[in-house]
Structure 1
């Protein structure tokens, strides 16, 4: 009886060891790594340049608006009601254009930042994948977002799940 109990214990320990040996989970703080890359200075410079361009465009629009309002104020006294209304509509359209430009500028800045940062994140992601493979990690989570930074492709069950659902998915090689 004792031998049987000993064999069960050894089997459980062996199974536990092999089960834990199959996966190795790590973490990485990608934002710290990206912020330390030398290329980040180029990103900052590119963002400053782009923001200055947008500010110059806004200033140009504001100057044109100011000039239009000034000219309209001088001419309002001699205008017909119909022409006044037309001029006011033009001024409202310029105001709307300026407001729309300001709103779009925020989105444009974000898009440009994403565009400039993408190669840095790819560089860090490639390095994380290389370290993960060499250190035999199966999954690596980011510390700054609880997202997976790396997953060993052999643990991806997408194709098996698709087959179970009767779906056909083509894989890229």
Structure 2
């Protein structure tokens, strides 16, 4: 029985020693890094220009459709039932086309954003990996993430910004 107790104490000590070694944990505010990167500012400007352009096109098409609808409504009492139905179908088709143009514009903007974000994200991730290896961090959490419950580790945001030259 005494040998069993000694063995149990030895096993507990081995596990306790393993858990007692402190792990280096850091946090990074990725949102802060994104907003301070010139590449992100340039991407935002490009996306704003694209959105303004697409919005102008859509407004022009929408105005044209509204003018046509007003014209058809004003002329409706003077037209035959068949012509009014034909015009109604034409207006419906134009409305559907406008909705498709809107969806295509949204898709274009999203694709442009995703394509522009990919190299920026890679650059940030590479910088985080380099800083983490240099400082021997075992874990780095995104401080701007809602999944982060407790933040008391070292904040590596400044080091990552320095690595990126920001």
Bin of the TM-score, shorter chain as denominator length: 0.5 to 0.7
Q: CA RMSD, aligned part only?
A: 3.3
1:145 shift after superposition: 1.6
1:68 shift after superposition: 2.2
1:63 shift after superposition: 2.9
1:70 shift after superposition: 4.0
Q: Is the 2:35–2:41 Cα contact (8 Å) retained in structure 1?
A: no
The residue that corresponds to 1:36 in the other structure is 36
Using the alignment, how far apart are the partners of 1:25 and 1:48 within structure 2? 38
Q: 1:135 to 1:10 in 2, by over 3 A?
A: farther
**Please, which moves more after superposition, 13-22 or 43-52?**
13-22
Q: 1:71 to 1:146 in 2, by over 3 A?
A: closer
**Tell me, what secondary structure is at the counterpart of 1:26?**
strand
1:136 aligns with 2:112: no
**Tell me, what secondary structure is at the counterpart of 2:49?**
helix
Q: Identify unmatched segments of 5+ residues in structure 1.
A: 1-7, 149-173
The residue that corresponds to 1:65 in the other structure is 65
Q: 1:127 to 1:147 in 2, by over 3 A?
A: farther
1:140 shift after superposition: 1.3
**Tell me, what secondary structure is at the counterpart of 1:140?**
strand
1:129 shift after superposition: 0.7
Using the alignment, how far apart are the partners of 1:18 and 1:132 within structure 2? 22
Q: Is the 1:65–1:91 Cα contact (8 Å) retained in structure 2?
A: yes
Please report the TM-score for the alignment, with normalisation by the length of structure 2. Answer: 0.67
Using the alignment, how far apart are the partners of 2:10 and 2:50 within structure 1? 66
1:51 shift after superposition: 0.8
1:23 shift after superposition: 4.1
Indicate the structure whose relative CO is greater, using CA pairs within 8 Å and at least 6 residues apart: 2
Q: Is the 1:61–1:98 Cα contact (8 Å) retained in structure 2?
A: yes
1:66 shift after superposition: 2.6
1:29 shift after superposition: 1.0
Match runs of 1:73-88 below 5 Å: 73=73, 75-88=75-88
1:144 shift after superposition: 1.4
Q: Identify unmatched segments of 5+ residues in structure 2.
A: 1-7, 149-166
